[in-house]
Copies of this chain bind each other. A is one copy, B any other.
Amino acid sequence: MSRLETELREQPQALARLLERQADSARTAARLFQRRDIRYLLIASRGSSSNVARYAQYLLGRAHRVPVMFATPSLYTIYGQPPRLAGALVIGISQSGASPDVVAVLAEAREQGRPTLALTNDGESPLARTAEAVLPLEAGREQAVAATKTYVNSLGAVAMLFAEMGNDATAREELARMPEALAAQIDLSVDEMPPLDAYRDAVGLTVVARGVNYGTGFEIALKIRELSGLVTEAYSPADLMHGPIAAIQPGWPVVVVAPSGPARPSVEEIVPPLRARGARLVAVSDVRAVLRRAQTKLVLAPGVPEWLSPLTAVVPGQVAAMGLTRLRGLDLDSPVGLRKVTLTR
């Protein structure tokens, strides 16, 4: 079995470990949000971690009504003119904790006396050493270049912060059931992945998602892209309608991520214009009516609360990415020209 598949299957266990071991750190970290002068969150991240940041933007923005902003590292590293961060709580998300650009943002925040938090899988990393508080991801060593368990555990860490910020017992219970839900989803996706041969000669594909699953769309696109080399991209339905839909030609595959929840009707609205353009539709959903409209159905197990659905909705994307990569005869553990740790500034 490839390292990637091994790690993909370890996700429920890794998530359970995070929830078990880091409840105290999550509580401590959540206290940072209570500082009186905090007006917004600033998140620094790259790659898969930026998709976790998108989850945080919707989840924390929505329930705790905290606006979330993404950092612009070049202002710190290239222009040397970082913004004034009064009002910010600054979070760095990085599996390796090593990328200089993410570290630079947190270092500047500390310099300006702002509270800082690191979500990282390496408690000894430069990022962990720079931040005031650390929430270790507990994913265990991840060897495949493409992130799986560090991604899901980063989502889990954000979900823990959410539950602790609200001191919300229901949220904690719902989250505690996620390792099991994740295991069920992995079984379902591995056992019942529909054949993907029809996409063997695809050049690329587009993923559409919104709300708390907006980041899921980006992560599915990234996973397929890193592994299979397909030209993938992600859009919200509204952004797609404002011009980019022009490139959807007959036969172009479009993955519609639409778990049950408030965002679903808005995502479904994109289906008729996509059909009119002759797109081949792939649906990721637990809703029969959504699945029925798609040529390829990636079924989500029911019963997951919407706010936690990103932890399972990414799984069929991960499994499909493996399938597409095998179809193209590529190595799952060594995507061409990529490294596990990318150092950018």
Q: Is the CB–CB distance between A336 and B246 below 8 Å? A: yes
Interface size on A, residues (CB 8 A): 73
Partner of A83, one of B65, B74, B83, B245: B65
Residue A276 is within 8 A (CB to CB) of chain B in the complex: yes
Contact across chains for B243 and A47 when beta carbons are under 8 A apart: yes
Residue A2 lies at the interface, judged by CB distance under 8 Å to chain B: no
Contact indicator B69/A241 (Cβ below 8 Å): no
In the complex, chain B residues whose CB is within 8 Å of the CB of A42: 67
Q: Does A238 contact B (CB under 8 A)?
A: yes
Residue A46 interfacial (CB < 8 Å): yes
Which one of B78, B86, B236, B337 lies within 8 Å of A263 (CB-CB)? Answer: B78
The smallest beta-carbon distance between A65 and chain B, in angstroms, is 5
Shortest distance in angstroms between A24's beta carbon and chain B's nearest beta carbon?
28
A13 within 8 Å of B (CB atoms): no
Smallest beta-carbon distance A296→chain B, Å:
20
A126 at the interface (CB under 8 A from B): no
| Chain B residues closer than 8 Å to A66, beta-carbon distance | 83-84
Known contacts A337-B245, A342-B242; is-contact A67 B46 (Cβ 8 Å): no
**Given A226-B246, A229-B247, A266-B78, A238 and B61 touching (CB < 8 A)?**
no
Residue of B nearest to A54 (CB): B72
> Of B83, B204, B229, B242, which contacts A61 at CB under 8 A?
B83
Contact A40 B87 (CB under 8 A): yes
